[in-house]
Amino acid sequence: MKRAIKVLTLAIVIALCGYQFTNAQTKARPKAKPAAEWKKILTPTQYYIMVEQGTEAPYKNPYFDMHEKGVFVSAATGDVLFTSEDKYDSGTGWPSFVKPASNNVIEIRKDADGQRDEVIEKSTGLHLGHVFDDGPADRGGKRYCMNSGALKFIKK
C-alpha cells in the first residue's frame, strides 16, 4: 500500500512539473505548436525549412530576386517579419535583409552545430534562416539571409 502511494505521489509530481514546463513554454512561445500540428498547417517545403530547420536551394526560390514593394510575413503565423525597404541583393541566392521589421518578432541563437547564428520566429521557435556580419556597412553591417519558404510576400 505504501509503495502504491509513493508511486501515485511521484506520478502526480511528474505530471505537475510537466504541466508547468508546458505552460512556461507556451508563455515564452505563445504561437508554438507540436511538429505534428505544423505538418497539417504548413506545406511540405515550409515544414522542411521551418520545423526541420532545412535550407532551400539558392537562386531557385521565389523571393531572392523579388523587387516589389511590400512586407514579408511568416508562412506559419502571418506576422510581419521583414519589409521590402530593408531587402537587398546580397548575391547569395537567398532573400537578404539588413534588419527585421521589429526586433520583437525574431530571436537569434546558435544553430545546432554552434557555427552560425540562426534566426527563428520568436513566437513559435520556428527556423527562418541565419544572420551574418557581412551585410552593407552603411546599413548596419548585418545580412539576414532568409529562406523564401519560411516567408509569404504581401504586396503593398
Does an H or E element contain 148, and which?
none
Please pick, among 51, 75, 145, 150, the residue that the annotation labels catalytic.
Answer: 145
Q: Which residues have CB under 8 Å from 90's CB, separation 6+?
A: 96, 135, 143, 145
Is 17 one of the catalytic residues? no
Buried b (16+ CB within 10 A) or exposed e, 114-142: eeeebbbbbbbbbbbbbbbeebeeeeeeb
Beta-ladder partners of 82: 72
Exposure on the CB side of residue 41, measured as CA atoms within 13 A: 16
Residues serving a catalytic function are 145
